[in-house]
Structures are given as structure tokens and as C-alpha cells.
Chain A
């Protein structure tokens, strides 16, 4: 499964990195967050459990809060807001 990135609506983007292992989900998330404007949101979908810890910590460090998170089966879905 290839990485997919698209704009769902104004200020809301989706990044799907299911199938990817470390460090790809972290790196793709970081690159996308660098492009977003303050207040924009990213819906991130991934299924690599070890990336969950790293992405959470990365968001915290960079001041981009994870405003919502849940699991759908083995998929993690994080909504991250650009701080």
C-alpha cells in the first residue's frame, strides 16, 4: 500500500501511511506538519504500533496537539492540529 496524502476540505488534510514501518510514518507526518498553517488539522492513519508513541511525543515536543485519537481494528487514527 502506497502512502496517500490529500486535502479533504479547507484546513483539513489526510495522510494514510498504513503498511509503512518506522521511521516512515513519523517522517511523513513531520514533513506534512511543516507545510500546514496554524489551526489546520491532519487526519493521520497508520498501523505501525511503535510509531504511535513516537508520533505522540513528536507532536507534544513541536506544540502540535493530538486533538483526537482512536483505533479502528489495528489502525490508529490521530487528528493533529498545527499549533
Chain B
């Protein structure tokens, strides 16, 4: 009874949140249409908006207020109606589908938040290194802190779905590869999903590249087995995997079973001798020590090296004095609040991510399952279930594994036996994308981003140019490899783990920062060369 009431409350709150957000936006759009009628179309569409302070630029809807066309609003209703119909229709078939719908609507919220805040992990350190802009680092730290607080509260109730990952230098190396890839691709794994919702063809190519690379990478064997250290191969054979898993054939299999699984699992709470699932361990160990203090330290470094100079110069120009400690605190706060859109998106994302854990665990208790594989089997969907009866069901926001799964599913339909590896065959399975909970989340994320883009007049189908297509494929491939080495991407390996006090999250993050730096250095050189050619015939002294 308690579980029924609890999950009903959770689902009710989630539905209310989505309804309020979409309704507010549509009301705003309708008001814009009424204004358009009064003012005339031309004055809005083609005339410049009156001068704005630079600081306000694009940080509020005022800067880009345009009437939202009826066509856009119609598409918003179609997208929301489609997801609503899927939820209601499948629920009518069986209440188990609520489990998949929960994933779907959280994905939808993530998509709306990501698009609203232009929330891309790739831009965090890339924009800092490339153009000195700290707004995304700030947004990500806000989201991580909020997520950490909510997930710690959830963990202390025993309802957390999170499991810390093995930690070693592999997380840093994987982060470097992923970091270079996300700069080349022009977006991280989650950023590419939301940009696909804006109609961006480059991002769609990035998603395809991540998906194909992962799916192929986890099943690569043959001559690549010669690159496996002997100790990994020997250790992998001792793990007692079933005969259906050919652990001695495949680099990733032997990397996972022979190396990664042997590494320690460490959280900040455990380092302090506390339990992850106790209130003190979760809030003090994993949130305060593991997230809030490092985040403040990181933001202080960002302020000192990237924001302080401008703040001090402005203070001198406006008030004719040097900055004291209180001024620097104000400057630090000004940096935090400089992009309200990003900060607001971070707040919503952080809370929603924690809530998803609570809702999914509540549904697991309600249905008496530990993994969606059991639900799919009860519904008669046996295809693509792993050897231990599971499918990929993280219980929280995740991006890359479901992308590998849909390509894996297609490959298997085409005759490729990829269920003999650990990744698909033993852990995640390859269920049909039509009933894969995590796939529902990603598709809805794209839909949520599309809704927000339509309401902001930012939806546009954009075909990739040849140049950007090449970068998308290279960057996507590097992100795919990095994701599988780290067992996650910027969301699964960094955001979720860091927020839950897992030190492998910060390790992957450090790698991503290093990778972003390398990628920016390369792109600086590349851009410089292209601009030199373009500027060759221009005399700037005229």
C-alpha cells in the first residue's frame, strides 16, 4: 500500500512538473502571437530588438522574443500527444509499461532542460579554454550539487539505484579520449541528443557514430586479442562466466573481466569510514566532501583564472578602486549568476535526476523486480535478454549504452552474433528498441528538446556539411570508445558518479578536462589556418 501511494505521488509530481513547464511555454507563445497581431509581423521578424545590455544578451527570452508560429505549436502538441498516447496506450495494455513510461517522461524533462539551458558538457571546459567563458562549468557544478543533495536523500532512504564503479587510471584515460572526441564532435553524448532535437544533422551523425563504434568495439576479437595483456586474459577466465560468453575472444571482454572488475570500488563516504546508504555517509561524505567542496574549489580556480580579471577591470573603471575580498565574493557570485538560463536548467536537472532514482526504485518495489529484464519477460518479450536475465536498466539518467544497444539489435538482426560478449550477452542484453526502457528515455529526451526548440523558434533541420560530418564521425567514434572504456559517458561516468560520491566520476572528469584542452589546442590551430586563408585579401587598416 505504502509503495502504491509513494509511486503515485512521485508520478503525479512528475506529470505536474511537465504540464506546468509546457503550459507556461505555450501560454507565453500564445501571448507572443497576440502581440504579433497588434504590432505587425514585420516589426518582430525583421527589425532589431532595441539595444540590450551585453550581460542580458540571450540570457533571457527578451533578447530573442519572436512569435511562435501555429505550425510550431501544432508540432509541440503532436510530440507531447504522441508520448502521452504511448504512455496511456501501453498502460492500458499492462501496468508494467509504467516502468518504461517513467523513463520516457524523465527523458522528456532532461531534453527540455538541456535545450533551455543549452546544456552541453562539451562546452564546459572547451569554451573555458577556447574563449574564456565559464558559464557551462558553473551550470554543471550547480546541477551536480543539486543532484548530489537529492540523490543522497534518496540513498539514505535505501531507494537509490546507484552502484559505484571500479576505480583506477582507466577512468582518466577514458576521459581523455572522450574529452578529445566531444570537442571534435561539437557536443557531448547528452548534448548531441538535445541538439538532434533541434534538427541538427551533425548531432544526429555524432549519435550514429557513437552508437556504431560502441556496438562494434565491444565485440572486437580476432587479431585484437593479441593486444590483451596475459594477466587480463588469465584473470578473465577465473570469473566463472557461462559458456555462452566467449570471454577469451574480445579485447573489451578481457579488459572488463580481467582488469576493470578487479579494481576497487571507492566512494568518499567509504573513504571516511561511513556507509553510502546512511544519512551522514551520503550527505556528509558523498555530497559535502565529495561534491560541494570540490565544486567550490573548482569554481574558485575558474574565477581566479578566467573571471576575476574582467571583474577587477570593471570595478576600477566604474568605481576607481581595487578589489577587496568582499568584492571578489561578489565577483564570484556574479560569475555564478551570469547565465540564468544555464543555472536554472542546472537546478531542474539536478532535482529531476535525483527524483528519477526515487521513482524507478519505487516502481521496482511495486512490481517486485530488480531489473527491467524481469518485467520484459513477464510481458512476453524474451528476445535480447542477457544470460543472467537482465537488460540495461540503470535506474537513472544514462545515454550511451542504449545507443550501443539499438545498433547491436540491428546488427544481430542482420546476422552478427554479438550476444557472446560480456557487454551485451551477460550484462545489458539487446532488447528491441521499441521496448527498451533506456531507449524510451533517449527518444523522449530528443522529443523534449524538440518541444523546447520549437517554442523558442530554434528548431531547424540542418544538413551537415562535409567538413562537419567528418568531425562528427571522428568525434563520435572517440566518444564511443571512451564511453566503453569508462563504462559510461559524460552522464553515466561523470555526472551520475560524481554526484553520488564515486571517485571514479571525478577521475573521468579530470580526463575530460585534459581531453578538452587537447581538442581545443588542435581546433585553435585548425581555425587559425582557415581564417588566415579567408583573411588573406582583407586589409584591416582601411
Interface residues in chain A, defined as those with a beta carbon under 8 Å from any beta carbon in chain B = 1-7, 10, 13, 19-24, 26-28, 30-32, 35-37, 40, 47-50, 52-63, 65-74, 76, 78
Contact = CB atoms under 8 A, between A and B. Distances in A.
A10 to B, nearest CB: 5
Interface in B446-480: 453, 456-460, 462, 465, 467-468
Contacts of A48: 200
11 contacts: A2-B467, A7-B539, A19-B468, A21-B203, A22-B187, A23-B126, A24-B186, A28-B531, A37-B541, A50-B120, A56-B58
A53 B48 contact: no
Contacts of A2: 465, 467
Nearest to A52: B58
Contacts of A54: 123, 127, 131, 133, 135-136
Interface in B289-345: 306-307, 310, 313, 338-339, 341-342
A53 B135 contact: yes
Interface in B184-209: 186-187, 191, 195, 198, 200, 202-203
B122 interface: yes
B164 interface: no
Contacts of B187: 21-22
Interface of B: 45-49, 51-52, 54-55, 57-59, 63-64, 66, 118, 120, 122-123, 126-127, 130-136, 183, 186-187, 191, 195, 198, 200, 202-203, 306-307, 310, 313, 338-339, 341-342, 453, 456-460, 462, 465, 467-468, 520, 523-524, 527-528, 530-531, 534-535, 538-542
Nearest to B307: A61
A1 B465 contact: yes
Contacts of B453: 49
A12 B233 CA distance: 64
A53 to B, nearest CB: 5
Given A21-B200, A22-B122, A31-B528, 16 more contacts: A5-B535, A19-B462, A21-B187, A21-B195, A22-B120, A22-B186, A26-B130, A47-B460, A50-B195, A54-B127, A54-B133, A54-B135, A57-B135, A57-B339, A61-B310, A69-B48
Contacts of A3: 530, 534
Nearest to B64: A71
Q: Indicate the member of A4, A21, A62, A65 with the most B CB atoms within 10 Å.
A: A21
Interface of A is mostly: mixed
A66 B200 contact: no
Contacts of A67: 51
B63 to A, nearest CB: 6
Contact of A53 (B122, B183, B306, B342): B342
B131 A30 contact: yes
A32 B131 CA distance: 12
Contacts of A74: 457-460
A56 to B, nearest CB: 4
Given A28-B531, A53-B135, A70-B49, A23 B127 contact: yes
Given A6-B538, A36-B540, A53 B126 contact: no
A32 to B, nearest CB: 7
Given A24-B186, A60-B54, A53 B339 contact: yes
